[in-house]
Amino acid sequence: MSVPLTQLGRTGLKVSRLCLGTMNFGVDTTKEDSFAIMDAALDAGINFFDTADVYGWKTGEGVTEQLLGEYFAHGGERRDRVVLATKLFGRMGNGRQTDWPNTQGLSALHIRRACDASLSRLKTDYIDLYQMHHVDRNTPWDEIWEAYEVLRQQGKILYAGSSNFAGWHIVKAQEAANRRGFLGLVSEQSKYSLMQREIEMEVGPACEDYGIGVIPWSPVAGGALAGIMKGQEGKRRNSEFAQKMREERGDQLNAWEALCDSIGEEPGNVALAWTLTKSFVTAPIIGPRTMEQLQGGIHAAELELSAETLAKIDEIFPPFKTSPEHYAW
């Protein structure tokens, strides 16, 4: 099958309904396996790749971005086929000096330097979607947007996105962009899964109103929704996090896995398919460590959950109303 396409927020940009997250590449997944996964993703119609300058978790090195740069350098129109998203905010350092000031955040200086460094590592002359990895409460929006405008005028970026923003941050950012006559945000990456549905109160509705596509990260709740109560032996099931989830939310997760068994589908795939039923969601991020996990995500994109199944899911994981309805009446 081919993963279907959709528009990224209110833009004319067409992206796949699954976004390939690369955080594991170069860390838990070898370069060779990462390349194979990216090739398979493209073959399946996944044209939306997400990374960040800090991925690889070696300050200042941009390990994962470098790996993607090697992948694009192999040719075969790989770069042209990909809508490439990366992020800035975290401390990166400057060469050997990882403790220099102005090497993190969203100052105009760091935005300029971070973008040039990412372009170099990624071996490309432009970034399709340049995302703020976190809100910077110390930098005014006019400074941030002016720096983004310069990058866009220089042809180094095409679109701007955010990540981990609260609803009111999105409003402040977008209103500041509107005053400048700038397109502003076209996407927001938020932590969103059945086990963490808070963005339904404000972030989701705000994004939908502004035409900002939501790109959920951790849609399987760090593996908790992938079948940790039974089966799924391995690293995630035996992790400290999984043990904590079994202790704190075991009854809920048992009910979840029983429901998935009743419809004959793997829990992780159902969790991913559920995010795709939300009107504000553009493309959940899948972060496969293996080819098998990639194939599971691709299968999830074709799953159709019945109204009855969706109602049962809401019984297990209660939803939020939009604000102020949720807390006012």
* 284 dihedral zone (left: phi>0; alpha: psi -120 to 50; beta): beta
**Parallel, antiparallel, or unpaired: how do β-strands 14-16 and 5-7 relate?**
antiparallel
Mean pLDDT of all residues belonging to the chain: 94
**Parallel, antiparallel, or unpaired: how do β-strands 213-217 and 285-286 relate?**
unpaired
Residue 188, strand partner residues: 162, 214
Q: To the nearest whole percent, how much of the chain has pLDDT over 70?
A: 95
Q: In angstroms, rounded to a whole number, what is the distance separating the alpha carbons of residues 253 and 232?
A: 14
Give residue 159's identity as a one-letter amino acid code.
Answer: Y
Q: In angstroms, rounded to a whole number, what is the distance separating the alpha carbons of residues 44 and 42?
A: 5
**Joined tokens for residue 63:** 């390990």
pLDDT for residue 253: 96
Q: In angstroms, rounded to a whole number, what is the distance separating the alpha carbons of residues 177 and 90?
A: 23
Side-chain half-sphere CA neighbours of 55 within 13 A: 25
Active site residues per annotation: 55
State which fold the 5-223+274-305 domain adopts.
Answer: TIM Barrel (3.20.20)
* Alpha helices in the chain, H assignment, sequence order: 31-43, 63-73, 78-81, 108-122, 141-153, 167-180, 203-210, 240-262, 267-275, 291-300, 307-316, 325-328
pLDDT for residue 94: 60
Q: To the nearest whole percent, how much of the chain has pLDDT over 90?
A: 86
C-alpha pair distances (Å), 328 with each of 103, 317, 324:
43, 21, 6
Q: What's the pLDDT tens digit per position in 52-66?
A: 999 988 888 899 999
Q: In angstroms, rounded to a whole number, what is the distance separating the alpha carbons of residues 190 and 38?
A: 23
Q: What's the pLDDT tens digit per position in 196-217?
A: 999 999 999 999 999 999 999 9
Dihedral pair phi/psi, residue 60, rounded to 5°: 85, -5
Question: Which residues in the chain land under pLDDT 70?
Answer: 1, 93-98, 231-238
**Joined tokens for residue 158:** 């095409």
Would you give the DSSP letter of residue 321?
P
Residue with tokens 């905010």: 89
Q: Quick one: 302 exposed, middle or buried, by C-beta within 10 A (0-12, 13-18, 19+)?
A: middle
C-alpha pair distances (Å), 2 with each of 47, 169, 295, 302:
11, 35, 12, 9
State whether the Cα torsion 28-32-36-42 is positive or negative. Answer: positive
- Give which of 246, 271, 131 is closest to 196, Cα–Cα: 271
Which residues contact residue 4 at a Cβ distance below 8 angstroms, ignoring those fewer than 6 apart?
A: 16, 17, 45, 301
Q: In angstroms, rounded to a whole number, what is the distance separating the alpha carbons of residues 43 and 293?
A: 15
Residue with tokens 């990624």: 122
pLDDT for residue 243: 85
Report DSSP letters for 162-212, one per residue: EES--HHHHHHHHHHHHHHT---EEEEEEE-BTTB-GGGTTHHHHHHHHT-
